[in-house]
Structure 1
């Protein structure tokens, strides 16, 4: 692929771009599932602790999405208009922004780690200790993740999803090798437990980042990432352009995480098994939303380039093709979750109580998977048009509904299942509303 997404067969162009991205996201899922499978050998308390620590790495992704989304959309639109000089300027600022925000988040995490973990009110000392240890390492070195995410977005904006894929594949192999060695300590190796899991993850992130940086240096073809300097002065106009697109997306992601933190605290009241189920269940569920994320990232770059080139008809056709693809995938995931929950739960849990909770979670959440896939894909398309503020308003409004719904339903006979229903029902609503919003926008937007 030459990086130009404004010509050629639409579905073929989207698929070629999306498949490596989806594969990269699946690799990310395998990262997390591999961690959970090995940590599961240490018991549900260790899983719960890592789950809490994972909430803060998730929160950091909201900050990193400012640079990623802002950079990806602006670079793609500039390429669509044929302005490579501005595309390079936006790429430069996106990388600088990711680097400095990563350092700031790491510093805050190291200073306030006990206060951060204390928010979840973990009563079990083992779970609390695991959460603190994991957070210190995973968040203390989060800058590698910030740069990796932003580099991936900038590669995608240029129509190159192959380089991030191979980088993530090598990172996965590293993680899968290090996990059992560092977590369980076979033979002469020390048993590091959750600390080992954090070290394995951070090492893999560093390797992925390094491979993508080397890719820029070794590529002979034109790349907007060439010649980027971290110490350069940040031009205000480029920073403003990235923030206009990226900040709404970042606020949306961080708000979503804060809401999930509140819900996680509510779940913790039902015991460590419930908390572990939420953590593992989220990783299992990522099978569907990482596929949607892949199409969303591809559709975002496709939409931005074609919008920049004034080809709205291709934008609409690309969205319809993506919608059909992810919708079918979501229905398949629903079938697996609803009809084979026990088989899935037993892979990660060994205690009867935890298995029973996980089965219930998978069935209830499974019903909303197609809607979730549609929601994520549509956000990618709308963001490609530069309407990230609209995505934020809709997402924040309806995701916030989860808290009062969880409180009401959780205090009925449904108990913990009431919280799962709050998650599932709001995903259904958002999927419908985002789809209607895209068609409403594109009916009124002229090329």
Structure 2
């Protein structure tokens, strides 16, 4: 890789030591994600100060906003895989074309989704169960959020282009910077300050829009002029069709796989609801803690694919195999340490989230069982990311369907039916072990076939 690329934050993914390279790419992603999670909690805190209705209203928006963000994540996965492969095969002009096309596609998709979203706010949120008094707050927030979604989609894809070049540090800075601007603007726009009137829920959405818009300006400047990873012009129609064909081939299945997770979660939440509000509360707390406990896995799932795609493009398949095996071993050991920590601190953690003895006991039971399966669950997540990076998106989608709807949901339900809530927790671990074994063997076999050819 050129000296310019090295100095601008990109790394030589084809020659540098595998372990050190993955570490140097993952740590910045980890820091950025921790900061984003922290800022997200602060954002929710400010909205909660408006009142219970406002907090309930913002809670109703999460499934819708998460679904749209999942689409953009899928597009980013496709973008990263395609561009990294081009960079690995030294096809810089094709990489520029694909990057430009991906950003144009993200803009068009975000505008279409925003228009559809604005005109379907009432029916969608009524279907989700929002009451009439909450719909007013939801409308205030979502009309602005849909507009902000246009500015969200392009930086997400832009960050994928940066990661494809091996630069995760700048990507994490953009994530954290956007979250920080959002947090600074939240109290000003929500509650008012000086000549700025209090805007309530709409102010929270406006803060998000401004933060993402600033991120978009910086990303476009960086990609087009400083790094020259995209073209400084729009593509014509033939160029656009050529540029996005490969991205959509990977991005659409990846988006579909991402959107299956909340569906499966909703089904299991309904099962847990049969044990009462306390069980739902414990399940909800466990889910929030899982996202924190699995943050290293999530960071790795974003840094490993560019490494695999570049080496796949350069036909360095032995490095792909070594990187995958290294990550699998690390995740197993790391998540076992996390499980031990949760096991011995389960009582302390449970008491932080509730004062009711029954709920504390349920949270403690969750923390003493479920985290044991985080390591094997991490193998599935990393394998799906690796399949996408190897340009095998349908394998990743099929793997997600198998995990969630052939093993996880049915086996968890059976465990609940036979052995109550504790049985459901253990059954989920069993389902993850089965899925991880299949995923690991499937990826190794696919890679061996490609090495043989």
TM range (shorter): 0.7 to 0.9
For 1:353 and 1:129, how far apart are their aligned partners in 2?
36
Matched, 1:51 2:59: yes
Match of 2:437 in 1: 432
313-322 vs 17-26, which deviates more? 17-26
- On the 8 A contact 2:97/2:230 being kept in 1, the answer is no
Counting matched residue pairs gives 443
Q: 1:300: Cα distance to partner? A: 0.5
336-345 vs 56-65, which deviates more? 336-345
Match of 1:100 in 2: 108
Match of 2:161 in 1: 154
Q: 1:59: Cα distance to partner? A: 0.8
For 1:424 and 1:193, how far apart are their aligned partners in 2?
43
Match of 1:165 in 2: 172
Gaps of 5+ in 2: 1-5
* DSSP-derived class of the 1:152 partner: helix
Report matched runs for 1:266-415 at 5 Å. Answer: 281-341=286-346, 343-344=348-349, 359=364, 361-401=366-406, 402-404=408-410, 414=420
**Taking structure 1 as reference, are residues 334 and 131 closer, same or farther at Cα in structure 2, changes over 3 Å only?**
farther
Counterpart among 81, 90, 94 of residue 86 in structure 1: 94
1:321-354 C-alpha deviation (Å, 9 max, x unpaired): 2223333332233234333345445666678787
222-231 vs 12-21, which deviates more? 222-231
Q: 1:114: Cα distance to partner? A: 2.5
Match of 1:118 in 2: 126
Gaps of 5+ in 1: none
- On the 8 A contact 1:77/1:305 being kept in 2, the answer is yes
* DSSP-derived class of the 1:225 partner: coil
Q: 1:306: Cα distance to partner? A: 0.6
299-308 vs 325-334, which deviates more? 325-334
- On the 8 A contact 1:91/1:154 being kept in 2, the answer is yes
For 2:15 and 2:95, how far apart are their aligned partners in 1?
19
Q: 1:94: Cα distance to partner? A: 1.0
For 2:299 and 2:73, how far apart are their aligned partners in 1?
15
For 2:158 and 2:93, how far apart are their aligned partners in 1?
18
Aligned-residue CA RMSD in angstroms?
A: 3.7
Match of 2:243 in 1: 238
Matched, 1:8 2:16: yes
Matched, 1:144 2:176: no
Q: 1:409: Cα distance to partner? A: 5.6
| Alignment TM-score, normalising by the size of structure 1 | 0.84
| Alignment TM-score, normalising by the size of structure 2 | 0.83
- On the 8 A contact 1:22/1:294 being kept in 2, the answer is yes
261-270 vs 106-115, which deviates more? 261-270
1:238-283 C-alpha deviation (Å, 9 max, x unpaired): 2221122222112211233333344456667878887676666544
For 1:248 and 1:201, how far apart are their aligned partners in 2?
28
Counterpart among 61, 65, 77 of residue 69 in structure 2: 61
**Taking structure 1 as reference, are residues 426 and 201 closer, same or farther at Cα in structure 2, changes over 3 Å only?**
farther
Match of 2:42 in 1: 34
The structure with more radius of gyration:
2
* DSSP-derived class of the 1:414 partner: helix
1:143-196 C-alpha deviation (Å, 9 max, x unpaired): 222112111111111111122122222223223334455567799987766555
Q: 1:25: Cα distance to partner? A: 2.1
Q: 1:420: Cα distance to partner? A: 6.1
- On the 8 A contact 1:46/1:127 being kept in 2, the answer is yes
For 1:269 and 1:183, how far apart are their aligned partners in 2?
38
For 1:424 and 1:149, how far apart are their aligned partners in 2?
32
For 1:39 and 1:214, how far apart are their aligned partners in 2?
33
Q: 1:90: Cα distance to partner? A: 1.0
Match of 2:3 in 1: none
**Taking structure 1 as reference, are residues 134 and 275 closer, same or farther at Cα in structure 2, changes over 3 Å only?**
farther
**Taking structure 1 as reference, are residues 108 and 149 closer, same or farther at Cα in structure 2, changes over 3 Å only?**
same
**Taking structure 1 as reference, are residues 372 and 284 closer, same or farther at Cα in structure 2, changes over 3 Å only?**
same
For 1:43 and 1:341, how far apart are their aligned partners in 2?
31
Q: 1:355: Cα distance to partner? A: 6.1
**Taking structure 1 as reference, are residues 356 and 193 closer, same or farther at Cα in structure 2, changes over 3 Å only?**
farther
